Amino acid sequence: MEITASLVKELRERTGAGMMECKKALSESAGDIDAAAEALRKSGLAKADKKAGRVAAEGRIVAAQDGGKAVLVEINSETDFVAKDDNFVAFADAVAQAALASGAADAEALKSAKVAAGDTVEEARAAVIAKVGENVQVRRLAKIDSSNHVAAYIHGGRIGVLVELKGGDADLARGIAMHVAAMNPPYNKAADVPADFVAKEKEIEMAKMSDKDKSKPAEILEKIMSGKVAKIVNEVTLYGQPYVLNTDQSVEQALKAAGADVVQFQRLAVGEGIEKVVEDYAAEVMKQAGLA
């Protein structure tokens, strides 16, 4: 069977593979476009396996939401350049929608969920690897499903936040999400701060005090220490921090004025916890040139 340009074009649009790859697959399948598409898919899986060991610490955080049901998904690539590629962005958005629709509990369960085109997330991942030429990983997800106000906020494609707010309104929930994105509080309220953290900070503050302060009466010393520790606790809690949208008040004051309470928040940032490989390109070039 003659492999026409239109047939190659059709296969390319269907799979996203390169022109020469499509032509070769059609030739090997005697013009059977379905068989050629399957062969290209298998080839994409092979490419994905070969790239699986490469560090993917760049990427995007994407969100999908339907009322009080919202998800964040972190999808990684090897370079920031690919993270901005249209194929990668489309894949990331499709995965977020699949996560929302499927209710997958984690990234592992998400692999078998179907994207809108009908492929599983894992199949779609292999296909995008074949297109962009880098390792691509669906690393983790966060989700909230609630009858309360839920906000999903993405900052620059690299930070994502979900906030569940009891009381208040949607605008306040979004404002709190923006605050969490900017300030990254480790804890929600003072009661959530571990006792060993407080004890350690108290020990550090005591060590920093002068002998003169340490010689003060116990009740005064305790009051000084309580003030210092309270300040530290405020710094590491959402409720204690100055509200980024109105720094004249704390987040707690803003919530209290609206009769609201933050039930929970979740924050994802691209590449958190991934050890990045720092390339010394100058040294590599010199090494290959035999100059190092």
**SS3 annotation, 183-231:** HCCCECCHHHCCHHHHHHHHHHHHHHCCHHHHCCCHHHHHHHHHHHHHH
Pick from 145, 173, 196: which residue ends a domain?
145
Residue 45, pLDDT above cutoff 50:
no
Tell me whether residue 83 is in a domain: yes
| Domain co-membership, 97 together with 140 | yes
Mean pLDDT value of segment 203-229: 78
pLDDT recorded at residue 49: 45
Cα dihedral: 139, 47, 94, 103 (round 10): -50
**Local structure of residue 79 (DSSP, 8 states):** S
Distance CA 24, CA 129 (A): 19
| Domain co-membership, 46 together with 129 | no
Pick from 145, 170, 193: which residue ends a domain?
145
Mean pLDDT value of segment 156-166: 97
Domain that holds residue 33: 5-51
pLDDT recorded at residue 38: 77
pLDDT class for 46, splitting at 50, 70, 90? very low
| Domain co-membership, 78 together with 136 | yes
Furthest C-alpha separation in the chain: 97
Q: At 58, give phi and psi (nearest 5°).
A: -100, -170
| Domain co-membership, 129 together with 71 | yes
Distance CA 164, CA 146 (A): 8
| Domain co-membership, 43 together with 95 | no
Distance CA 242, CA 144 (A): 25
CATH number at residue 46: 1.10.8.10
Among residues 106, 235, 257, 241, the alpha carbon closest in space to that of 178 is found at 241
pLDDT class for 68, splitting at 50, 70, 90? very high
- Least confident range of 42-56, 60-74, 166-180: 42-56
Q: Pull the structure tokens for residue 215.
A: 């010689």
Mean pLDDT value of segment 45-74: 78
* Residue keyed to tokens 């399957």: 38
pLDDT recorded at residue 48: 45
* Residue keyed to tokens 């969490």: 180
Tell me whether residue 247 is in a domain: no
Tell me whether residue 98 is in a domain: yes
Mean pLDDT is highest, among 16-30, 247-261, 263-277, for 247-261
Choose between 23 and 55: higher pLDDT: 23
| Domain co-membership, 24 together with 66 | no
* Residue keyed to tokens 């997330």: 121
**Local structure of residue 149 (DSSP, 8 states):** E
| Domain co-membership, 15 together with 93 | no
Cα dihedral: 233, 237, 242, 244 (round 10): 150
pLDDT in tens, 110-154: 999 999 999 999 999 988 988 888 889 999 999 999 999 999 999
* Residue keyed to tokens 């059609």: 26
pLDDT recorded at residue 82: 92
Q: Number of folded domains in the chain?
A: 2
Tell me whether residue 251 is in a domain: no
Burial (0-12, 13-18, 19+ Cβ within 10 Å), 214:
exposed
CATH number at residue 71: 3.30.479.20
Pick from 98, 113, 145: which residue ends a domain?
145
Tell me whether residue 273 is in a domain: no
